[in-house]
Structure formats: C-alpha cells, structure tokens
Structure 1
Amino acid sequence: MELNDLRIFQAVAAHGSVSKAALELSYVQSNVTARIKLLEKELQTPLFYRHKRGMILNTEGKRLLEYSREILSKVDEMKQTFQDKLNPSGVLEIGIVETVAALPYILSSYYRKYPNVEISLKAGVTDLLLQEVIDMKLDGAFVTGPIRHPLIEQVEVIQERLVLVSKADTFAVEDITTKPLLLYNKGCGYRGRLESWLKVEGIVPKQIMEFGTFGTIIGSVAAGVGMTIIPESAIKDLVASGTVYSHNVPEPYREITTIFIRRKDSYLTSTLQRFIDEIVARTSAVETPH
C-alpha cells in the first residue's frame, strides 16, 4: 500500500466520484479506479457502495477514512518537523466565524513576516469548525468560546458585546414575536446566546430565517426583513451611518469571547506557532493602555 493510494481514496470519498477525484488530482480516471481496486484487494474488503451517480463509503470505507486521516496527518507532521523554523512555509488551514474583528490585523502582520505561508480560510459556525479541528481537517479555528473539550487547546482573542440589530431605532423584546429573526445556521455561538435568553424570557420568535453569511444577514436587516444578533464591532460603521440600529442584550447573554482553538495532541508546526504568536501579540496590544 502506498501513501498516495490513501490520498486518492480520500479524494474519491470526499467527492463521491472517481471522475471528480481524478480531476482534482490531475490523474486519468482509469488510474484512480485501479488504485481504489488495488486498495480494496489489499484490505480484502469493498470500501464503497457503487451506484449510477457515484460512490458512497460503506462501513469499512468509513473506518479506513479515519485511519487514513491519522496516517497522512502524521506524515505531514513529520515533514513539517524539518521545516525551517525561522522561515515557515506551506499551507495553514484556518476556520473562522465570519465576524472576527481582529482577524485582518492578525493576517496583515503575519503575511508581512512570513510571506511564504499560504493561509486558507474556511468560514463556518462554531460547532462545525470545532469538529473539523478535532477531525484534523483544520489546523485551527477562530470560534465563539469558551470551549470545553479534552482535545482542545484555546487562546483568547477578544472579548466583545453582542447586540440586537434592526432597522427600527427602538426595540422591545416582544418585537421578536412580530419580526423574523435572521440568524446563522445552528451551531452558531451568537445564536445559542440569543436562544438561551429567549427561552428564559418564555418568548417564541415569529420566525427564524437561517443564512450562511454575514453580508446576507446584515443586508436583509438593513432592508427591514427582520432582526439579528451580532458582535457590536461588526456593525459599528453601519450604526454610525444610520443604516441599522443596535440594541442592548441583557447580562449574562451579551458578553462573548472569540477564541482560537487547535487540537492539543497534534504536532505544533512552526507555521502554526508563529500564527498563534501573532494572535497573542495582537491581544496584548489591545489590552495594553496607551
């Protein structure tokens, strides 16, 4: 069995298609098919359910997927161990919730110091990003904290206030029963705070409309479709211009902490260590009085 066979297997599993995997890997389809069949022969078991529209992992295939992730992750760690620690390079895969106010400053500083590093950003909600860090699909992620998980190490990035945002300049909690709530998908930390508050108040929203991006949510709020909950820093310019209005969220629901998480038992590459150093430096600069 070759390591490359595991990479081919992962690509087919991800796409559910030999043709799409071949396109991604720049291989001919027949080569991908042959390597999968060889892998099944070596392991003496089928790995996929095959159907007209593609391929789906069976139980044994799912087991191999977990093993292959661990094996290839360790191989990548081994290679990264020998990197030039003073001049990191390679790819850093980072997850983000969409409203991390400090991120542009961290990225700007990091890029200036380490131009050979390519940062790939993936936006998502806290629960999804946490799982991807645990599964080692991401090197780390900015999420809503705190996170309590035995595999997770975290660094505080910034503390912020959540506010309700609407088109109207006045607000009462009962308004939530007459206007739709425009929220991120389930698993969002901001949404979780709002739902906890409403549960205590005994308030049932008129309607919840789910969106995947901050731009769509805030644009819909500005158009008068409904209201949302978001960190105050994310909408301060829109509030200043009168495009939308912000309203207080009561304690203990309004204080929110953005943290950076990584899997603590994974190898800490120099690339990621330098990134965490930038986060800590940015946090210290914000906390230091001028």
Structure 2
Amino acid sequence: MELRNVKTFIKVAELDSFSNAGRSLGYAQSTVTLQMKQLEEEMGVPLFERKGRKIRLSQKGYEFLVYANELVKCEAEAIQSISHEDKPAGELQIGILESLSVSEYTNMFKEYMKAYPQVILIVKIATTLELMEMLEKGMLDIIILLDRKVFNSNWEVPFERKEKIVFFCSPQHPMADRQVTLRELSKEKFLLTEKGCNYRQVFEEILAEQRLEVKYGLDIGSTNTIIDYVKDELGISLLPEFNLKRDLQKHAISEILVNDCNIVLYIQVILNRHRWVSPSMKAFLSIFSNYF
C-alpha cells in the first residue's frame, strides 16, 4: 500500500471530490482516480459511493479513514524519531468553535505562527459534534471546545476552565444593566447563533423546562455580526463573556442580569490519549497555557 495513495484518499475524503483533491495536491484528476482505484483493489472493498459526478465515503471508507490518518501520523512520528528531531515541524491541525476563533485566542495562533514558522498551522472551524468526530477519526490533532463537560475514555483534557454566558443588549434598551426574569426576557426579539450551537441549545433547554419560547429575529453563525446587530438595537442576544469583554468595557453594549437563568460552560482542550503527541502539539499546548 503506497502512502501517497493513502494521503490522496484523506484529501478526497475531506473535500468529497476527486477533482478538488487533485487541485489541492497538484495532481491531475485522472491520477487521483487511478490512485483510488488501486487503493480499493488493495482493500478489496469500495471505499466510495458514486452517484453521477458526486462521491462520498462508503461505510468501509469511513472505517478506513481512521486507519489512514493513523498511517500518516505514524510516518511523521517515525521520521522525527529516527532523525532525533524534536523541533516542531510539519502540519498541526487544530479544530475550534467559531465563537472561540474570534476571541483573544486568535492572538495565540499568531504567537504560535511567529514562534514556529516551519509549522503549517491548519485551523478548522466547526460545531462541537463535528470537531469531536474529526478528532475520533484522526483528522485533527487538538480540538478546543466551549460546551458542557464532555467525556470520552480515549481523550485527554489538559486544560479546562469555566466560562460564563452573558445576555446582552444595546445601552439604550430598557433592560440594559437591569435584573429581569427569564419570562420577561423571553418576550424580547433574539438574535442567535445557528441552531445546534452549544449555548443556544442549553438556553433552549432552560426555556423548555419553564414552558417558554422566544421570538427569533436572526439565526446566523457569525458572533461578530450578532454583536453589531445588537449594538444597532435590532434585538438582544447571549454569547460567551470573552466575546463581549471589550464592548462591555467600552459601554458599547450592556449586560442583562437574568435572575433565574445562569448558563456556565467549559472551555476544554482535548486530544486523543492514544496518539503520539508531536513536538508541534507540545509547543502549541505550551503557548495555550499562557492564555489560561
């Protein structure tokens, strides 16, 4: 089994396209097609489901993807081990939530890139479930979540910290800096992150427990857009406190104090305890510790 073919398979799985994978790797589409055919012949099973021009991984393809990522990781580990090279190098794949990616942690990525220019830093933004799935499949080295505490016997959590979720509005809003009940709050128009977002999900569960509903004025995956729209008095919202600190200090927005709704989640840095921790990963965790 050629490792080159395995690497191509991983790229095809990521992009769901032979042609896009070819462009990304600098191969002709015919080369990618041939490599995947060779791989399927070696495995003795179809790794892809083909419907017209569209492709996606078969069940066996998903199973092989886990091993494919392990093979590539093992290659990198062997090269660094044999060469006695303990300096960070190669690729480092980090998965992070959108709300974290537009916070103070962006400075952490800049610091890492300046300190280790020889490392190719790949940052993927996705939901909690998507990030956990990619970590399980070996597609990511480290994930950074903001959620309720998660547990998996295969995972190691070197960093964990509580984070408050804050309700906020424009300074001109009648609820600015006031104490209100959840029932009062539920009558307002909400601008929220997309459905499936962890703190939105917790909020909706609390509403359901009290048999309450809210009116949605916006459903969007951009934290910064929500903050801007709240400033323009288009509605109220809730976001992690770290996303709001600067605007709260400038009095560009105001906190709403909700007596009967306290949402606390956890920033969690997670890696797979059964996988090799590369020098690039160790260096990243060291820099991350300065932000915790």
Alignment TM-score, normalising by the size of structure 2: 0.82
What's 1:159 paired with?
162
In structure 2, C-alpha distance between the alignment counterparts of 1:282 and 1:83, rounded to whole Å: 30
What's 1:275 paired with?
284
Q: Retained in 2: the 8 A contact 1:95–1:142?
A: yes
Cα drift, residue 109 of structure 1: 4.3
CA change 1:202–1:79 in 2 (3 A) is: farther
What's 1:196 paired with?
205
Q: Retained in 1: the 8 A contact 2:66–2:138?
A: no
Q: Retained in 2: the 8 A contact 1:182–1:227?
A: yes
**Of 228, 234, 240, which aligns to 2:237?**
228
**Of 255, 262, 268, which aligns to 1:253?**
262
In the alignment, structure 1 residue 149 sits paired with structure 2 residue 152: yes
What's 1:84 paired with?
85
- Listed as ranges, the gaps of 5+ residues in structure 2 are none
- Tell me the alpha carbon deviations over residues 148-202 of structure 1, each in whole angstroms, 9 at most, x when there is no partner: 2212211335433221022324164235443343333344332233223323333
In structure 2, C-alpha distance between the alignment counterparts of 1:210 and 1:142, rounded to whole Å: 23
- Listed as ranges, the gaps of 5+ residues in structure 1 are 284-290
What's 1:288 paired with?
none
Q: How does 1:1-290 map to 2 (within 5 A)?
A: 1-81=1-81, 82=83, 84-85=85-86, 87-100=87-100, 101-145=103-147, 146-156=149-159, 158-167=161-170, 168-170=173-175, 172=180, 173-207=182-216, 209-250=218-259, 253-283=262-292
What's 1:287 paired with?
none
Q: Secondary structure at the match of 1:253?
A: coil
Cα drift, residue 133 of structure 1: 1.9
Range with greater deviation from structure 2 (175-184 or 273-282)? 175-184
In structure 1, C-alpha distance between the alignment counterparts of 2:51 and 2:261, rounded to whole Å: 52
CA change 1:107–1:36 in 2 (3 A) is: closer
Q: Secondary structure at the match of 1:276?
A: helix
- Tell me the alpha carbon deviations over residues 56-85 of structure 1, each in whole angstroms, 9 at most, x when there is no partner: 333333333333233223323333445632
Q: How many residue pairs end up in the alignment?
A: 282
Q: Percent identity?
A: 26
Range with greater deviation from structure 2 (67-76 or 105-114)? 105-114
Cα drift, residue 249 of structure 1: 4.5
Cα drift, residue 116 of structure 1: 2.5
What CA RMSD, in Å, does the superposition of the two structures yield over aligned residues? 2.8
Alignment TM-score, normalising by the size of structure 1: 0.83
Q: Retained in 2: the 8 A contact 1:157–1:279?
A: no
